A and B are shown apart, each in its own frame.
Chain A
Amino acid sequence: MNHTLKDHVPFGLWAYIMSDCVLFACLFAAYAVLHTETAAGPSASLLFDRSFVLIETFILLASSFTCGLAVLAARARNTAGVWAALLATLVLGLAFVGMEVHEFTGLIAAGHSWRESAFLSSFFTLVGTHGLHVLVGALWMLALFVYLALRGLDERVSRRIFYFSLFWHFLDIVWIFIFSLVYLLGTFSI
């Protein structure tokens, strides 16, 4: 079988995603060590709102689903379907980032910024890094829209939509651990 350069892209992308997992694992480790160091300030159980996080989680999960729909539409050469599904993914992704910005600005306005304690430093770093990844994903989608508008749905952009979907699904997977370990275990009470 003749291997061209572009056959190796999925492997390279997957290797990159795995390295990003290691990055997040290190941020989780830092959070695990530091989350009890609240410097006599409020702890997780006082600061986090579970129902707010539940809504955020459903929004990101739904965006993962619509991203899958975009991949299917691209394979079926359904241009309108790709536009609709990708737009839905973008809107949901931006809604997620908007909610997260709202949560962060609320915390900071109440005086609980990353400067207050090691717990908050590690929290803002971990959750903020994930949020930045989602924002970069949104920019990636904008780039895909520009390509789609200029050249339509060709084989090249279909492959790129598939590569984007790998990245987007990985972000939802990282979020599973953020909401479980940071928000749920942090606010755990019997």
Chain B
Amino acid sequence: MKPALTNHASLSSYAIGFACSMVLTLASFLAAPALGAFGIPFIILSALAQLMVQLVCFLHLGRDGEWNIQLLIFTAVIIFILVGGTLWIMSNLAHLHTHEAAPAELYENGIVAPQNELH
């Protein structure tokens, strides 16, 4: 007989998830005054940790065969390309706009000048 959809749900998984999420949330909010400059990476890592906690404890990821992990990984790749690509292109655009060159200086020896290349 096929197992029920909710087979992996249990009170302990929701309670543990809730408790860990609260701890991580509080830690993030207190990170700035407590950690100084290290607060920024801490907040990001804490968010990623809480993502994992909620994926496993609330969404029971990975315990019903691997198809939902595969979809998740595919989505992560798409997001990496979209967000990463956006940030890369926009930062290049910002750089070009702040270091505006006269049209004649855009090219050197027939090719795009190095400072106007994509970096």
Residue numbers of A with Cβ under 8 A of B are 1, 7, 10-11, 14-15, 18-19, 21-22, 25-26, 28-30, 32-33, 50, 54, 57-58, 61-62, 64-65, 68-69, 71-72, 74-75, 158-159, 162, 166, 169-170, 172-173, 176-177, 179-181, 184-185, 187-190
Contacts and interface: CB of A to CB of B under 8 A. Distances in A.
B32 A10 contact: no
Contacts, number: 126
B26 to A, nearest CB: 8
Given A33-B86, A50-B29, A172-B54, 8 more contacts: A1-B2, A19-B75, A26-B82, A30-B86, A58-B22, A64-B54, A162-B6, A184-B43
Interface string B1-30: 010111001110111011001100100110
Interface of B: 2, 4-6, 9-11, 13-15, 17-18, 21-22, 25, 28-29, 31-32, 36-37, 39-40, 43-44, 46-47, 50-51, 54-55, 58-59, 64, 67-68, 71-72, 74-75, 78-79, 82-83, 86-87, 90
